[in-house]
Amino acid sequence: MSTSLRVGHLGRYARIAALLVKHGRSATFGPLGDPPPVDADDDLATEEDARALVDELESMGPTFVKLGQALSTRADLLPPVYLDALADLRDAVEPIPFAEVEQVVERELGVRMSQGFRSFDHEPLASASLGQVHRAVLRDGRPVAVKVQRPEIRERVVDDMDVIEELAGFAADHTRTGRQLGFRSLAREFRRTTMAELDYRREASNLRLMGEHLAELDLIWVPQPIDDYTTSAVLTMELVEGRSVAALTPVGRLDVDGAALAEQLFRAYLEQILLHGFLHADPHPGNVMLTDDGRLGLIDLGMVAHLDEATQDHVIRLLGALSDGDAPKVAVELREMSTPLDSWDETEFRERIGHLVHTYRTITMAELDAGRVVGELAAIAADCGLRPPSTLTLVGKALLNLDHVVRLLDPELDPNELIERHVASIVERRMMSAASPAALLSLAMEGKEFVERLPGRVNKVMDALAEGQMTLNVRGIDEAELMRTARALANRLTSGLVVAALIIGAAMLMRIESDWTILGYPGIAMVLFLVASLLGLWLVVTSIMEDR
């Protein structure tokens, strides 16, 4: 479907087009729609150009600041010098007058501010393009942080989004790069995430879910929302008393257990990525607070990423291969999780992956950001004609920011060693969660349905044979081979029924308490599951070997 441009947006189109003409030749997407040669980015891009892009995005308003922040995660689209400049893009702006804050709060909560709060600071703790945060005290004495959305910001963002989507659609329809890089889907994803940030109820839900996921980590704290004081434009949450990790000095580090804090924070993000599939995508030092009681508080969960199970499996294998220095496996995993384009060059891809993995294994922690490796993998994939999933670049950006934070806490921390130590236990927890009673019950019900329907299906086949209504079109019948095949099928069918019966029996025994347990589950049930697993594995292996 072709995208049409609106006359009323011509001025905005012209400004964005000028931006592309000015910076396009240095970026992955050129102004005429053709990507520059591989490695051309590093030759053309300069820090001055990247800084100028940041300044121009800031001058264009909050939506384009958000766009710049989103692009800072896309190592597959922009050269490193642009990524570094955009990573420093912060949307700090002048605060709105307190009278406007008061109007928004009273309209959203439906009460006068003096009735809802014992006190409410006039000066904000922080001010950003979409909203600002004030310290307040509830009527019951609890200190809270209140995030208030700027008046009419939603309408402005929606209008800007229309412009961005129209230009992205036009580029996708009329340029090769726009089609290959999926500009239309990129614009839609950006619209979805930004509009989600404008609904503070989403962030409240993110805070609750993240708090549940990280509850076992005693040094990590996620402030919880106050539901009665939260709407789509006002978010009230527990106040994090402390200071930003970015303000931590070498002398100040002596007063905290930096090593323990850094390790738990890194473990928290590994669990988010590999276990829960729910990731705080922007853990820069300003969003990680060192609390007065010596913990780390995670704030600003407006930007999150969701990883499905398939992506989690790929990332687990990718990190494991990186940790082992297994370049061929890194290449295989990255290829399988990406979409090949017309310019896909597998030979160059494997060579460059091998070089990167070798470099990663031979330099010290002080010389390399672990998160940058994932970003470089995405960049290599894009250069060689693959489109990596956007979640991979978000993971890379999150790990890159995380590297910065943990180094502030503990400069000696080795993320590679932590990955090797924690990935195995995280995979074990994933497997145990997959063996939950609900999952086992579902499997048992499927097995029960199979067993119940099997006799009827067999009867239909036998009736058709008896009535002479079944026709087999066979050429060159070998009766001996046919009998062997029939026996093999019967054996497999019988084995399948036995496996299904064992699974159903084990699932039923799961609900019976027993003094003998294995991994917290009744021992007899676990033994039956083990026998079923071995039989199933034997059945699969023999089937594959005999069908060759």
Q: Could you tell me if residue 137 is inside a domain? A: no
Q: Tell me the CA distances in angstroms from 9 to 157, 231, 337, one per residue in order.
A: 14, 32, 37
Q: Could you tell me if residue 381 is inside a domain? A: yes
pLDDT by residue, tens only, the chain of 548 residues: 555 566 666 777 777 777 776 666 555 544 434 444 444 444 567 888 888 888 888 888 888 888 888 887 777 777 878 877 887 776 567 889 999 999 999 999 999 999 999 999 999 998 888 899 999 999 999 999 999 999 989 998 998 888 888 888 888 887 777 777 778 888 888 888 888 889 999 999 999 999 999 999 999 999 999 999 999 999 999 999 998 888 888 777 878 888 899 889 988 988 888 888 888 877 777 889 999 999 999 988 877 888 888 888 888 788 778 777 889 999 999 999 988 888 899 999 999 999 988 877 665 444 556 677 888 888 888 888 888 887 887 788 788 778 888 888 888 877 667 766 766 676 666 666 555 555 555 555 665 566 666 666 666 766 666 666 666 555 554 556 656 666 666 666 777 777 777 777 767 767 677 777 777 777 777 787 788 778 777 766 676 666 55
Q: In the prediction, which pLDDT does 212 show?
A: 94
Give the span between the Cα atoms of 402 and 413, in whole angstroms. Answer: 12
Catalytic residue set: 282
Domain end among 432, 455, 470 = 432
Q: In the prediction, which pLDDT does 296 show?
A: 94
Within this chain, do residues 168 and 294 fall inside the same structural domain, yes or no?
no
Q: In the prediction, which pLDDT does 273 show?
A: 84
Within this chain, do residues 76 and 181 fall inside the same structural domain, yes or no?
yes
Within this chain, do residues 516 and 373 fall inside the same structural domain, yes or no?
no
Number of neighbours of residue 123 by Cβ within 10 angstroms: 10
Domain end among 369, 404, 432 = 432
* 266 CA to centre of own chain: 15
Q: Identify whether the C-beta of residue 180 lies closer than 8 Å to the C-beta of residue 339.
A: no
Closest CA to 398 of 512, 488, 275, 272: 272
Torsion of CA 532, 536, 537, 542, to 10 degrees: 140
pTM: 0.68
Within this chain, do residues 487 and 537 fall inside the same structural domain, yes or no?
yes
Domain end among 389, 411, 432 = 432
Give the span between the Cα atoms of 159 and 210, in whole angstroms. Answer: 32
Q: In the prediction, which pLDDT does 225 show?
A: 96
Which residue matches tokens 């969660």?
A: 433
Within this chain, do residues 186 and 309 fall inside the same structural domain, yes or no?
no
Number of domains in the chain: 3
| Orientation of helix 200-213 relative to helix 183-197, angle to 10° | 90
Within this chain, do residues 389 and 463 fall inside the same structural domain, yes or no?
no
Q: Could you tell me if residue 448 is inside a domain? A: yes
Within this chain, do residues 252 and 386 fall inside the same structural domain, yes or no?
yes
Q: Could you tell me if residue 533 is inside a domain? A: yes
Q: Is the dihedral of CA 63, 65, 287, 365 positive or negative?
A: positive
Give the span between the Cα atoms of 24 and 131, in whole angstroms. Answer: 31
Within this chain, do residues 511 and 403 fall inside the same structural domain, yes or no?
no
Within this chain, do residues 464 and 399 fall inside the same structural domain, yes or no?
no
Pairing label, strands 296-298, 220-221: parallel
DSSP per-residue letters across 508-525: HHTTS--SSEETTEEHHH
Q: Tell me the CA distances in angstroms from 402 to 152, 339, 479, one per residue in order.
A: 34, 27, 67
Within this chain, do residues 78 and 178 fall inside the same structural domain, yes or no?
yes
Q: In the prediction, which pLDDT does 365 show?
A: 46
Q: Could you tell me if residue 542 is inside a domain? A: yes
Which DSSP symbol is given to 223?
A: P
Q: Could you tell me if residue 293 is inside a domain? A: yes
Q: In the prediction, which pLDDT does 548 show?
A: 54
Interior angle at CA 83, CA 419 and CA 401, nearest 5? 35
Within this chain, do residues 387 and 510 fall inside the same structural domain, yes or no?
no
Within this chain, do residues 273 and 250 fall inside the same structural domain, yes or no?
yes
Q: Could you tell me if residue 400 is inside a domain? A: yes
Q: Could you tell me if residue 310 is inside a domain? A: yes
Residues near 223 by Cβ (< 8 Å), separated by ≥ 6? 145, 207, 237, 238, 239, 240, 297, 299
Instruction: Tell me which residue range forms the domain holding 510.
Output: 437-547
* 308 CA to centre of own chain: 8
Closest CA to 281 of 182, 400, 199: 400
